Chains A and B, each alone.
Chain A
Amino acid sequence: MAIEVRIPTILRTYTDGAKQVEGTGSTLGELFTDLEQRHGGLQDRLIEGGGLRRFVNVYLNDEDVRFLDGLDTPVKDGDTVTVLPAVAGGAR
């Protein structure tokens, strides 16, 4: 079972520069745990306090997983998970 995971530029230090890696799992949370085995430190950039980090967008195919089940979102072979850091900021 392979799920394609697209990695944004700033997280490619954890994947030896790869913009795409593969992983397995039945849920997004399991997938991230699986990726951590080969890309140590990546999980901490995605998860905080047991949930997805606030300013990191994760999409299952083309849907933001915040509108699905977050880390409990089911994933399967052939899915594509995309990670994009949120673009945000402000006056302060």
Chain B
Amino acid sequence: MLRIPRELQAKIVAHARQDHPDEACGVLAGPAGTDRPERFIAMTNAERSPTFYRFDSGEQFRVWQDMDDRGEEPVVIYHSHTATQAYPSRTDISYASEPEAHYVLVSTRDSEATEFRSYRIVDGVVTEEPVTVVE
């Protein structure tokens, strides 16, 4: 289950809307071992593409270093699909490399309603999980 503060969910959705039709991506960091997302970090999509995303490698290094210095880990890794459903694609699954993270997928394919779903992706297996929004 993903427990996420409403404010952070809103920031993810806003980021996805802002970057549409390119895929948006980022991280919610939280204290290591707590499974609590606390800090929103929008990442640059180095691919700047409507069908692919990739964290800029230098930015990823600095963010991962910063999280380590703060005793944090990436609790949520999010990205958006802009014309397809909010479900992990074959490439999402093959590149998922943080087995402890919640993979949040947002879809902006509809201009009004944003789909927001969360998954665990471990050893190539996708398991959807419920999302609980907390105040």
Binds A, one of B8-16, B58-66, B110-118: B58-66
Task: Please give me the residue from chain B that is nearest to A62 by CB atom.
Answer: B61
Chain A: which residue is nearest B84 at the CB level?
A91
Tell me which residues from 19 to 64 in chain B have a Cβ below 8 Å from any Cβ of chain A: 23, 25, 43, 47, 49-55, 57-58, 60-62, 64
Cα distance A82–B51 when bound, in Å?
Answer: 29
B interface secondary structure, majority: mixed
Specify which chain A residues have a CB less than 8 angstroms from the CB of B79 in the assembled complex: 89
**CB neighbours of A92 from chain B (8 A):** 51, 84, 89-91
* Residues of B in contact with A, size category: 35 or more
- With A57-B60, A57-B61, A59-B61 as given contacts, are A91 and B95 in contact (CB-CB < 8 Å)? no
Which A residues are CB-close (under 8 A) to B4?
none
- Is A86 in contact with chain B by the CB < 8 A criterion? yes
Chain B contact residues, CB within 8 Å of chain A: 23, 25, 43, 47, 49-55, 57-58, 60-62, 64-65, 77, 79, 81-84, 88-92, 95-100
Interface pairs (23), CB distance under 8 Å: A59-B57, A62-B62, A63-B58, A82-B61, A84-B61, A85-B95, A86-B54, A86-B60, A87-B25, A88-B53, A88-B91, A89-B91, A89-B92, A89-B96, A90-B49, A90-B52, A90-B91, A90-B92, A91-B50, A91-B52, A91-B81, A92-B51, A92-B89
Give chain A's interface residues, CB within 8 Å of chain B.
8-10, 55, 57, 59, 62-64, 66, 82, 84-92
